[in-house]
């Protein structure tokens, strides 16, 4: 068996998320069908992040084991051929050692949430961003977001169905910035709780709308109470942009 690392981009709108589902399409299932068509036997594809229904990826990472060793470009081209017409693309493939695991070897995950801050409805960005019609105070949002940085009990921003054993997480960084009518919230952590990013974004938008002060974020975080969270942002604007691995030198095999 040969293990391959995949870097993947996808539009999450047609899928019930990354993880294989019994009652609908998933990104994982689409990749596994493509891999089986390539390898001639069932293949399990393991992802770095279990994105939710409607959430997108620009740099999801996964790994899989194939019975037959092939050139990485051949693997990428074959997977992309068999993935059509699903909106999933394998951007790159690398051969890795057997101790590499897309999920457990990851040292950081990076997400971006895109808000289009305008009164007009979305057209080309519909389903790919969250439209907020009211003017947003980005400076206040950024100030509020800094209360989330560090090691905390994130129960307030944890979905009730979250299966993680502990609500404790370390948020490495979060920033809010504006470019014209586009507001981006960028955050990084080793791991996130279920719907943590969308929950944080929804609360930060309450600050941006002027309904709450930046310090309110610290208050609801300290409450460790899900009912204290603001409205949860929709999945449309959320993107898994990259996954980090360290050190790369002992996980990659010479071609």
Partners of residue 179 on adjacent β-strands: 182
Q: By 3-state DSSP, what share of the chain in percent is helix, strand and coil, each rounded to 5?
A: 25, 30, 45
Please, where are the H alpha helices in the chain?
27-39, 72-83, 138-145, 196-208, 215-223
Helix (H, G, I), strand (E, B) or coil at 2: strand
Which residues, 6+ apart, have CB-to-CB distance to 144 below 8 Å? 203, 204, 207, 212, 213, 214, 215, 216, 217, 218
52 is catalytic: yes
Answer whether 198's CB lies under 8 Å from 235's CB: yes
Active-site residue (options: 11, 23, 52, 99) = 52
**Cα distance between residue 73 and residue 77, in whole Å:** 6
The token pair at 93 is 């493939």
- DSSP string of 33-57? HHHHHHHSS----EES----TT-EE
Strands 150-153 and 182-189: unpaired
Catalytic residues: 52
């Amino acid at each position: 068996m040969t293990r391959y690392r995949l870097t993947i981009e996808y539009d999450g709108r047609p899928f019930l998320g990354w993880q294989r589902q019994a009652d609908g399409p998933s990104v994982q299932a689409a990749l596994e069908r493509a891999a089986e068509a390539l390898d001639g036997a069932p293949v399990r594809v393991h992802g770095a992040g279990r994105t939710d229904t409607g959430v997108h990826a620009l740099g999801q990472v996964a790994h899989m084991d194939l019975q037959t060793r092939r050139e990485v470009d051949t693997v990428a081209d074959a997977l992309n051929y068999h993935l059509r017409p699903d909106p999933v693309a394998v951007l790159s493939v690398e051969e890795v050692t057997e101790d590499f695991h897309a999920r457990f070897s990851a040292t950081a995950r990076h997400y971006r949430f895109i808000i289009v801050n305008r009164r007009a409805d979305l057209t080309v960005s519909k389903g790919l961003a969250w439209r907020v019609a009211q003017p947003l105070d980005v400076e206040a949002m950024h100030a509020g977001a800094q209360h989330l940085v560090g090691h905390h009990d994130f129960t307030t921003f944890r979905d009730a169905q979250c299966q993680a054993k502990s609500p404790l997480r370390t948020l490495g960084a979060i920033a809010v910035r504006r470019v014209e009518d586009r507001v981006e919230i960028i955050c990084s952590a080793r791991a996130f709780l279920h719907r943590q990013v969308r929950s944080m974004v929804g609360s930060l938008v309450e600050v941006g709308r002027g309904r709450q002060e930046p310090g309110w974020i610290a208050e609801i975080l300290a409450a460790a109470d899900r009912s204290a969270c603001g409205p949860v942002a929709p999945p449309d604007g959320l993107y898994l942009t990259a996954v980090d691995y360290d050190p790369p030198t002992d996980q990659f095999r010479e071609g």
